[in-house]
Amino acid sequence: MEHFFRLSGINWTTPLTVMDAYESWSLWKVDKAIKKIWIMIPACIFWCIWLERNKRCFDGESTALGILKTRCIENLFSWSNLYPVVNAEQLQDFTNSLALA
């Protein structure tokens, strides 16, 4: 979640529990234009962590943190637009649109 806050220009300290993190996330007032995407971010993060956990447990493989973060943003883009990322510029435009500041 901290990665998405940094993308949005917000300073944030991660709460101790997942529930506290989710509640804290949902309290942020965001622009109507990105509200639907903002609400999807925690689920996207949890989904990516779950996939990575399964990969480590069942395949004995792990993904570098930077790649994992990029995959999370790619998933969020795909979920919010209902189509996959086609190029890096498209993904950059999407991450820029999440900026709150």
pLDDT of residue 1: 59
Provide the pLDDT confidence category of residue 91 given band limits of 50, 70 and 90: confident
CB-based contacts of 72: which residues, under 8 Å, 6+ apart?
3, 44, 45, 48
Q: What is the pLDDT of residues 16-73, one digit of tens each?
A: 888 888 887 788 787 887 888 888 888 998 999 999 999 999 999 999 999 998 899 9
The Cα 39–Cα 44 span in angstroms is: 10
What are the domain boundaries of the chain?
2-97
Q: What is the pTM of this model?
A: 0.73
